[in-house]
């Protein structure tokens, strides 16, 4: 079980984090089919995801950026594949249609890229059972992505969900 009592996957499924790793797939190749792009290319890929998908709502870009076996590890959700990610983004953008994400910092090494981001939006639609409040929300988070052959294959995200729920008026401020 994941956070909030939600299942992480189907029966008998094990997170990729806990499966044996074939180290050969991480060795950089210099021929066509190269596993690692440059760190700058990987950072640009992450920026495209936030600018084109999250900020502009361009779901077609997802097919260009995500591998078919993509997995998103979110504390409240486990999302699989580009179609699952499209549904995830669509639900979030339906709740916050004016969402705009800003990349604050990025760090990349080998096949992983990390990013700190801030997103702003107005709660105009239902969000995880919370009716629209009309309130402005600022959400911050950190995202780590694993990129192979120019596609995002795995993504770990940590969001300030508590702060967002407080801004929506669902939870009282601490203190």
Write out the two tokens for 13: 């499924």
Give this prediction's pTM: 0.77
Question: Residue 23: which pLDDT band, with cuts at 50, 70 and 90?
Answer: very low
- Which pLDDT score, from 0 to 100, does residue 9 have? 41
Distance (Å, whole) CA 44 – CA 174: 37
HSE value, Cβ hemisphere, 13 Å, CA-based, for 58: 12
Question: Residue 32: which pLDDT band, with cuts at 50, 70 and 90?
Answer: very low
156 lies in a domain?
yes
5 lies in a domain?
no
Q: How many domains does the chain have?
A: 1
Among 34-48, 61-75, 132-146, which stretch is predicted with the lowest mean pLDDT?
34-48
Between 76 and 115, the higher pLDDT residue: 115
- Within 8 A by CB and 6+ apart from 55, the residues are 99, 100, 101
Nearest CA to 117 out of 64, 41, 47, 38 is that of: 47
Residue 140 pLDDT greater than 60, yes or no? yes
Interval 100-126 mean pLDDT: 96
Question: Residue 35: which pLDDT band, with cuts at 50, 70 and 90?
Answer: low
Nearest CA to 66 out of 150, 157, 151, 147 is that of: 151
163 lies in a domain?
yes
CATH number, domain at 78?
A: 3.10.450.50
The residue range of the domain holding 109 is 35-167
User: Which stretches of 27-76 are assigned E, i.e. beta strand?
Assistant: 66-74
The values of phi and psi at residue 19, to 5°, are -95, 155
Write out the two tokens for 121: 């939006």
- Which pLDDT score, from 0 to 100, does residue 76 have? 86
**Residue 77 Cα to chain centre, angstroms:** 10
Distance (Å, whole) CA 67 – CA 147: 9
């Amino acid at each position: 079980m994941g956070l909030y009592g939600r299942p992480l996957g189907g029966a008998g499924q094990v997170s990729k984090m806990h499966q044996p790793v074939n180290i050969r797939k991480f060795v950089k190749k210099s021929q066509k089919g190269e596993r690692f792009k440059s760190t700058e290319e990987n950072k640009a890929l992450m920026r495209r995801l936030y600018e084109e998908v999250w900020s502009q709502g361009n779901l077609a870009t997802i097919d260009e950026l995500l591998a078919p076996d993509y997995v998103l590890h979110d504390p409240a959700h486990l999302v699989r594949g580009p179609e699952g990610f499209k549904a995830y983004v669509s639900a979030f953008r339906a709740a916050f249609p004016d969402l705009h994400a800003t990349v604050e910092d990025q760090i990349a090494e080998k096949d992983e890229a990390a990013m700190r981001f801030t997103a702003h939006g107005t709660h105009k639609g239902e969000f995880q059972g919370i009716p629209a409040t009309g309130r402005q929300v600022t959400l911050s988070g950190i995202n780590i992505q694993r990129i192979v052959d120019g596609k995002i294959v795995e993504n770990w995200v940590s969001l300030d969900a508590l702060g967002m729920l407080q801004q929506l008026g669902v939870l009282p401020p601490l203190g």
